Structure 1
Amino acid sequence: MAVFLLFSLSSFIREPKYHPSSKSAQTMRPAASFQNPTPTSEKKLEEGDFQAEPHWDFEDEYRLEVGSPRTNCPDSVKVKAAQSYWLRERFLPNLTLFLDVEHFNLSEWNRLEHFKPPFGFMGLNYSMVRGVLEKFPPVSQQQLLLAARPQTGSLQCISCAVVGNGGILKKSQMGKQIDSHDYVFRVNGALINGYEKDVGTRTSFYGFTMYSLIMSLHFLRNQGFHQMPRGKDIHYLHFLEGKRDFEFLEKMLRDQTVAKAIMEKSLRHYKYQPFSLDSYLLIHPDLLRYVKNRFLRSNILDTIYWPLYRPSNGAFLLLTAIQLCDQVSAYGFITNDFHRFADHYYDPKWKKMKFYSNHDFILEKRLWKQLHNEGIIWLYQGPKAITSHN
């Protein structure tokens, strides 16, 4: 793992209560009470115990970092967030982003067991989670990009391009602009070969779940996606979606290679290659719950279908970049005129974007537009919008 000059002490800090603007978010969720269980308790919280997403008194409390490095960029997301009437009540600049054994103990297990994965550990096994975390090197600094920057005193800004897989990027010619950023974030399929002019060539961070990786390897194999992006400077951002992800990690850690045993037979052509655990980052459930609660809370959470919903991997990735970077540009994300574009830029034939109940893309579309309009991010919205990029 990269060693940074700055080190922060972490603690669990109670934030002032944030009240979502949605009326339904305040009034329709059932109040829930449950005595904190121990890992050996007979009674375990399960999804089936609730007819809608349970609401706990500590629902909107998150683990924060003390002593995180501060940006010296005058145009940083963190500076703009503090100046935004809408965003300053939502944004937590020192949120804990990565999960490791130093950010995990029995108290944390009891707290996070109240939330369904990927927002917590409901339904998981304590020994499995702890056993996995003990094998990973601790993350010495949550704000790893700020910590890695030379502390010269200059007004240097960390720029990041977050590349989704939307069809809006097809024939966009955005490749050079994407590669001009300090860091490039990609997600899921992330096909590059043959699409360099539109999506660029560099990858700094790759975000995925076990399911999204399996599906990408399966459906995009014939188009050239045979493995996760590889490179000595690439960091992997694993959104821990549930039991399957921890089983994958158990096998990966046992073999020190990507876990063969968990792959389906249809993935026999997958290229298994070892990689350093120093570059493998587990996203903390608090970050994902923060994204859901404060930015992308869907009304489906107030129904019996609540376990189905979570923000998309692209949304998780973009909000993670906003926590890490000073300046964020988003490419390949849903825009107001999404119906004009194919589902993905790499689709061989034009396919309409499909909406499923597990994601709320309309909610995501509104969020990206609002962040763009407030100058928090720059959102690529097609050829006519290029001139507005700084």
Structure 2
Amino acid sequence: MQKTWAVFSLILTCCVLLYLILWMNLSEQFSSKTAFISTLIFSQIKTSLSQTEKPTFPTEREVNITPIPILYKKNFTKLPAWDFEDDYLRNEAKRPTCPKSLQNTEDPKFKEAVLPDIQLWLYKGLLNITEWNRLAHFNNPFGFMEYKYNEVKDAVDLIPKPSIFLPVPKSSKDGCIRCAVVGAGGILNNSKMGKEIDSHDYVFRVNGAVTRGYEEDVGNKTSVYVHTAFSMHANIMSLKKYGFHNIPQDKGIKYVMIPEGLRDFEWLQGLLQGKEAKGSFKGVRPLKYFNGNFNESRFFVLHPDFLRYIRNRFMPSKQMQGRYWAMYRPTNGAFALFLAIHTCDIVDAYGYITEDHHKYSNYYYEKLKKTNVIFYINHDYGLEIKTWKKLHDTGIIKLFQRH
């Protein structure tokens, strides 16, 4: 009996040691095919996300599961290839009433790529453990790789369910929503496009949306302001010399936040609780940036699925296949433009990078000293140039260009 027990104990010990060795050496070989736990978790998720099924949101009525072990970017030499990479949370698609809507385009590539019912917003009730285990496979801002469940969920559970984003204006006779999306490109310097920009129903601006003193070129109307926690904080600090002392605060303005990383969720907690932020923005009170004009009903947070969908289907850079794969993401301006494409009928883009960008300063507010666009590794400006041109040539958007 003792001999039998000893053999059993030896076998059990060997099994435990083998498991530990395999786990500690987990690296880029960890993929969707080998991650058995992922397969179990996503057998149900994939059904709810399937295009052939009615879209459903996750609920807290789920089996007793726990967050998957944290995945680290350093263990992958390129973008990991999960078999659910191109699965997204879906919502009810809004049918356009506008006969000229870009959703009615006949361009085959755009029709194949676009998902009119993609889930745009992240808010309370959309993040449980099942959803976490799906999104934890993707690097930020496309998911929650390297993060802990509670530190993100605590912030998400504070985000209220958003109201209608851009209603059809009462003045619209044809039911169309006309939008201008304004980047900061130097191509707008001396463009005299201000009146045209402000004539749109809604005007999107991003990051350092300097307008004071530049109204003739860029207008002064802002309906939607798209930002990250860092861009809001940094631009207020760095652009004061150009007259940018406050973020846009037009009446009825909608604020759209891109959850770029963990620091954005730390910022969100401080903002929505009216307290100082923790972590990266320790000691900062996010509410102060709104000068008393913050309203939760006009605050929106983009869903990681929407951000990943834009990257995967419209802006898949070659950088994703190299060692710096995790650094790449489309610019804030790119996300703002695609948000407009998914919420407006007619979209005109101003101040976006074009093939002849070298003729202009980096930013339109740099009038005294010309600077050039720096092609940082975290963005793919060459791809953005081609993307905006392609969208313009196919009639999806109208891109402001100078020849």
TM interval, shorter chain, is 0.7 to 0.9
**Correspondent of 1:303 among 301, 312, 322:** 322
Tell me if structure 2 keeps the 8 A contact 1:217–1:267. Answer: no
User: What secondary structure, in the 3-state scheme, does the structure 2 residue paired with 1:346 have?
Assistant: coil
Q: How does 1:1-390 map to 2 (within 5 A)?
A: 32-33=31-32, 34=35, 35-36=37-38, 40-41=66-67, 43-66=69-92, 68-80=93-105, 83-141=106-164, 144-145=165-166, 148-149=167-168, 155-255=174-274, 259=277, 263=281, 273-274=291-292, 275-347=294-366, 348-382=368-402, 384=403
2:18: which partner in 1? none
Tell me if structure 2 keeps the 8 A contact 1:72–1:153. Answer: no
Letter in 1 for 2:70: K
Letter in 1 for 2:96: T
Letter in 2 for 1:352: N
Cα distance, 1:273 vs. partner? Answer: 2.3
Alpha-carbon RMSD across the aligned residues, in angstroms, is 2.6
Greater shift after overlay, 149-158 or 171-180?
149-158
Whole-Å Cα distance in 2 between the matches of residues 260 and 99 of structure 1?
Answer: 21
Tell me if structure 1 keeps the 8 A contact 2:138–2:144. Answer: yes
Whole-Å Cα distance in 2 between the matches of residues 44 and 111 of structure 1?
Answer: 12
Whole-Å Cα distance in 1 between the matches of residues 289 and 262 of structure 2?
Answer: 24
Tell me if structure 2 keeps the 8 A contact 1:113–1:120. Answer: yes
Whole-Å Cα distance in 2 between the matches of residues 267 and 353 of structure 1?
Answer: 32
- Segments of 5+ residues of structure 2 without an aligned counterpart are 1-27, 42-63
Cα distance, 1:327 vs. partner? Answer: 0.2
Whole-Å Cα distance in 2 between the matches of residues 314 and 168 of structure 1?
Answer: 15
Cα distance, 1:154 vs. partner? Answer: 5.9
Tell me if structure 1 keeps the 8 A contact 2:142–2:305. Answer: yes
Tell me if structure 2 keeps the 8 A contact 1:335–1:381. Answer: yes
Cα distance, 1:302 vs. partner? Answer: 0.5
Tell me if structure 2 keeps the 8 A contact 1:164–1:187. Answer: yes
Relative to structure 1, the CA distance from residue 260 to residue 220 in structure 2 (aligned partners, 3 Å threshold; closer, same or farther) is farther
Whole-Å Cα distance in 2 between the matches of residues 39 and 138 of structure 1?
Answer: 26
Whole-Å Cα distance in 2 between the matches of residues 264 and 227 of structure 1?
Answer: 21
Listed one character per residue, the Cα deviations across residues 38-90 of structure 1 (whole Å, up to 9, x for unaligned) are: 98557211111211110111101111113x3311111111111xx11121110
TM-score, normalised with respect to structure 1: 0.82
1:13: which partner in 2? none
Whole-Å Cα distance in 2 between the matches of residues 186 and 152 of structure 1?
Answer: 22
Whole-Å Cα distance in 2 between the matches of residues 216 and 120 of structure 1?
Answer: 25
Whole-Å Cα distance in 2 between the matches of residues 250 and 340 of structure 1?
Answer: 43
User: What secondary structure, in the 3-state scheme, does the structure 1 residue paired with 2:140 have?
Assistant: coil
Listed one character per residue, the Cα deviations across residues 107-153 of structure 1 (whole Å, up to 9, x for unaligned) are: 21111111111101112222222222222221255xx32xx337999
Cα distance, 1:30 vs. partner? Answer: 7.9
Whole-Å Cα distance in 2 between the matches of residues 266 and 355 of structure 1?
Answer: 31
Cα distance, 1:105 vs. partner? Answer: 2.2
Whole-Å Cα distance in 2 between the matches of residues 127 and 196 of structure 1?
Answer: 44
Cα distance, 1:263 vs. partner? Answer: 4.9
Tell me if structure 2 keeps the 8 A contact 1:310–1:358. Answer: yes
Cα distance, 1:287 vs. partner? Answer: 0.9
Greater relative contact order, per chain length (Cα 8 Å cut-off, separation 6+)? 1
Tell me if structure 2 keeps the 8 A contact 1:210–1:245. Answer: yes
Larger Rg: 2
Cα distance, 1:265 vs. partner? Answer: 9.0
Letter in 2 for 1:129: V
Relative to structure 1, the CA distance from residue 173 to residue 31 in structure 2 (aligned partners, 3 Å threshold; closer, same or farther) is farther
Write out the 4+ residue segments of structure 1 that deviate beyond 4 Å after TM superposition. 37-42, 150-154, 258-268
Whole-Å Cα distance in 2 between the matches of residues 207 and 303 of structure 1?
Answer: 29
Aligned identity (percent) is 43
Tell me if structure 1 keeps the 8 A contact 2:184–2:352. Answer: yes
Greater shift after overlay, 293-302 or 258-267?
258-267
Letter in 2 for 1:71: P
| Alignment: residue pair count | 346
Whole-Å Cα distance in 1 between the matches of residues 284 and 172 of structure 2?
Answer: 53
Relative to structure 1, the CA distance from residue 220 to residue 30 in structure 2 (aligned partners, 3 Å threshold; closer, same or farther) is farther
- Segments of 5+ residues of structure 1 without an aligned counterpart are 1-28, 385-390
Cα distance, 1:106 vs. partner? Answer: 2.1
Cα distance, 1:272 vs. partner? Answer: 5.8
Tell me if structure 1 keeps the 8 A contact 2:206–2:225. Answer: yes
Cα distance, 1:187 vs. partner? Answer: 0.3
Letter in 2 for 1:369: K
Determine which structure has the larger helix proportion and give its number: 2
Whole-Å Cα distance in 2 between the matches of residues 69 and 137 of structure 1?
Answer: 21
Tell me if structure 1 keeps the 8 A contact 2:266–2:279. Answer: no
Relative to structure 1, the CA distance from residue 267 to residue 42 in structure 2 (aligned partners, 3 Å threshold; closer, same or farther) is closer
